[in-house]
Amino acid sequence: MLTLGIHPGYHDAAAALFDGYRLVAAVARERLTRRKGDGRGDVPADCVDEVLGIAGATRRDVDVVASTRSALPQSLYTHFRGRRAIEGRVRQVLDAEKLRFLALELRRADSVNALDIIDRAAVLERYGFRDNVDLFFVNHHEAHALPTLFFTDWDQALLYTADGGGDNVQYSMRGFRDGALQTLYGGDEELLKPNRIDSLGMAYGYCTQVLGWRMNRHEGKLTGLAAYGEPVCFEQLAEHFRVAENGEITSDFGSYAEMKTFLAGLAEEVSREDLSASIQHLLEHHVLASARRFLTRFPARRLGLAGGVFANVRLNRLLAEETDVDEVFVFPAMGDDGLAVGACLDALRERDGFGHWLDQRYRLEDVYLGRDHGDAIDTVLGNTPGVAADPGDPVAAAVARLSTGQAGAIYTARMEYGPRALGARTILGNPSDPGINDSLNKRLARSEFMPFAPVVAEEDAGDVFEVGDLNRYACRFMTITCAVRPAWRERIPAVVHVDGTARPQVIRRDANPLYFDILQGFKQATGLPVLINTSFNVHEEPIVDTPEQCQRALLDDRVDFVVTESALYRLADRD
C-alpha cells in the first residue's frame, strides 16, 4: 500500500511516500526548483512525481493521499459563502485559516473536518489520483509531532512542537503513555479560537529580519552570532512573554506587526550580537520553563521535538540536559518540509488504528530519501573538459588531499532529506585548521558565525564529544549540540564553538560506506577521528541534488575535488 504525504505550504513544500509503514522517499521542493524554501503554488506536483518516480510508481498507484490543510485553490471548496469569506476577509491567511473561517460560516464549531467543506472528487481529479483513493487532511502540529514518536521505540514520552504557527497554534504538547496519545495543548479545538500572538518562533524570525537577513531562512546566523553577544535585552523581551502555570507560552502583543515594530526598535539600540544573544536567551528560558511545566503535568522520560523552532541546536541541547529526561529525539526534517511525513503517519494511524500503528514503529538509520542518480555523476564529471580523475582508490585519494588541507565534496547515492547535509552531499575538510572556516565560507559566498560541524564514527563519538544515551540518536542527524571533551578542543578547532560545544554527526558504516571509509582513512593518516562536514551548497542555494549541479560547483572552484564511489575528480590544472 502506497501512502503519499503532501505539504503544499507557503514555504518548505514537500512530499513523502510510505510503502506500507516504511518511509521510502521524501523531498523538499527547494531541491528540485533550486529556490530556497520554495512553497509557491498549491500541491507541489514536482515533489509528488519525484517521490513516486524514486519508488517506480505513478499517481494512479497511490492508495492513500494525506495533506496538510494549506494552499488548496479556492475552487476546491464547496461552500460559496465560505469562498466569499476567504476573498473578502482572509485572502492571505496561512495554513488552516481557510478551514477555520469556512467552519465558522457553516456554524460547525464541533467539527473542523476538511472533507466537510472540500470537494473530494475535484481534488482527486485535479491531481490525477484514482477516485477510490483514501483522502485525509491533517492537523499541522500533529503532523510535526507524530514522527517524533513513530521513529522511536519509546513506551512513554512528551512530544513538544513549536514553530511560527500552523492551524492557529504555535506550540503543541502531547503525552504518550500506556499505548495512548493525549493532546495536552494545541489540537484542532484551537482552530475556532481567536489567533494568539505568542510565537517565539516568529519573534526569532523577526529578529532575523530586522538584523538584515531573511526570515524562515537565516535564523541559524542568529544562533551562531548569539555566542558573541550578551543578553542585554532579555528583560525587555521577557516583559512581553510569560509561561503560564500549565506550561503554555503567552504574550501581550496585540499583533505580529506590533511585535516586529518592538523588535526593530531594539535592533536600533543594541548591537546585532547582543540582540541575537537576547532573543536566544529568551527562547531558551521560556521553552525550557514550558517543557518543565508540561513534564510536571505529564511526567515522561523521553522527549520528542519537532517544528522549525527546534532547528535551534543550542535550544535542543538545553532541553536534553536540563529536563532530566533519558533520551531526546529531534525529527531530522523538523521544519515544515517534515510535515509530509507526519501527514502519512496521521493517515495510517486513522486508517489502521493506533495499536497497529505503534507496532510498526522503528528507529531511523538514515534519511537518504532523495533520488540516487547512480553512475550519472561519473559520466558527467568524467566527460567534463578541464576536469581530471586521480588514479587509484578514491578513498585513499580523498584522504591524501584532506590531510594536506584541501576541502572536497562527497557525492554518493541518495540525497539527504531535511536541512542537514549528512554525508551524501557534504563538503569535507580538515578540522585541525582553524582558518578553513573563513577560507571555505569565502569560496561558498557564505557569512556564517558558527564553526562547521564535525562527523565522527559511533565508536569514537564518546571519546571526543559528550555523546551518550541521552543524545546519541539526535546526534545521528546533527540536530543537537554537545560539549567537546577538553582534550580535543585544541586539536579540532574548526568544529568547536565559542562555548566549547559542537554539533556532531555520529555515523555507522552500513548507512554510507564511502563516507565512513574516508573518515576512518583520515583517522589512520592523521590521528584525528573527526572530519569537517558542511553542506554542499553555495550561499542562498539549496544543497546540491543533480550531477550537473555538482559539476558546476567544481568548475566554479567551490571545492578542490569531488569524490564518488568510483573516482576522485578535480580541475585538471590543479595538483
pLDDT (tens digit per residue) in 57-93: 999 999 999 998 776 676 777 654 444 444 433 333 3
Listed in order, the ranges of the chain carrying CATH 3.90.870.20 are: 369-571
Fold of 2-141+361-365: Nucleotidyltransferase; domain 5 (3.30.420)
- Report which secondary-structure segment, H or E, holds 293: helix 272-297
Radius of gyration for the chain, computed over Cα atoms and rounded to the nearest angstrom:
23
- The model's pTM is 0.95
Q: Which three cell numbers stand for residue 166?
A: 500552523
Listed in order, the ranges of the chain carrying CATH 3.30.420.40 are: 152-330
C-alpha–C-alpha distance, residues 518 and 515, integer Å = 5
Lowest mean pLDDT among 64-78, 99-113, 301-315, 398-412: 99-113
Q: Do 17 and 3 meet the contact criterion of CB atoms below 8 Å apart?
A: yes
For the cut 60, the answer to whether the pLDDT of residue 554 exceeds it is yes
Q: Do 9 and 21 meet the contact criterion of CB atoms below 8 Å apart?
A: no
The CATH class, in words, for 369-571 is: alpha beta
As a whole number, the mean pLDDT across the chain is: 92
Distance of CA 83 to the CA centre of its chain: 33
Per-residue pLDDT tens over the stretch 167-218: 888 999 999 999 999 999 998 878 767 788 999 999 999 999 999 999 988 9
According to the model, what pLDDT value does residue 101 have? 52
Per-residue pLDDT tens over the stretch 119-170: 889 889 989 999 999 999 898 999 999 999 999 999 999 999 999 998 888 9
For residue 143, the SS3 value is helix
According to the model, what pLDDT value does residue 370 have? 98
C-alpha–C-alpha distance, residues 233 and 32, integer Å = 41
> Averaged over 403-420, what is the pLDDT?
97
Instruction: Label residue 374 left, alpha or beta by phi (over 0 means left) and psi (-120 to 50 means alpha).
Output: left
Nearest in space to 340 (alpha carbons), one of 73, 47, 104: 47
Q: Do 522 and 402 meet the contact criterion of CB atoms below 8 Å apart?
A: yes
According to the model, what pLDDT value does residue 167 have? 82
Fold of 152-330: Nucleotidyltransferase; domain 5 (3.30.420)
Other Cβ atoms within 10 Å of 234 Cβ, number? 17
Per-residue pLDDT tens over the stretch 264-309: 999 999 999 999 999 999 999 999 999 999 999 999 999 999 999 9
> Averaged over 252-265, what is the pLDDT?
97
Q: What is the DSSP string of 501-522?
A: EE--EEE-GGG-HHHHHHHHHH
> Phi/psi at 42 (nearest 5 deg)?
-105, -110
C-alpha–C-alpha distance, residues 293 and 565, integer Å = 50
Q: Which residue has the cell 484514482?
A: 130
C-alpha–C-alpha distance, residues 216 and 428, integer Å = 26
Q: Which residue type occupies 303?
A: L
User: Could you give the angle at the alpha carbon of 147 between the alpha carbons of 65 and 117, nearest 5°?
Assistant: 35
